[in-house]
Amino acid sequence: MQEYIRKRVLDIGNYIMESSATVRQTADIFGVSKSTVHKDVTERLPLINEKLAMEVKQILESNKAERHIRGGEATRKKYQEN
């Protein structure tokens, strides 16, 4: 694995840990695609730092479980403004 990828993977993992950010938010911050963030945290991070990978996985699973709630709130807000 190239060094810049290794650094990005660790930076992304630490960012998600500190901010509980979603994959989409993380991709915007780091200027990469959602697919890249997902591959970094699910495939590459466990090879580099297994403990961090497990913690990030828990955060992403929590975000996924809350996703339908955030979507519902956004829709409600959209139609309340009109």
Query: Whole-prediction pTM value?
Result: 0.80
Quote the DSSP letter at residue 41.
I
Per-residue model confidence as pLDDT tens digits over 3-44? 999 999 999 999 999 999 999 999 999 999 999 999 999 999
Number of domains in the chain: 1
* pLDDT range class, residue 82, cuts 50, 70, 90: low
In sequence order, what DSSP letters do the residues of 51-76 get, joined into one string?
HHHHHHHHHHHHHHHHHHHHHHHHHH
d(CA 11, CA 73): 30
**Residue 16 is part of which domain span?**
3-81
Identify the pLDDT of residue 65: 85
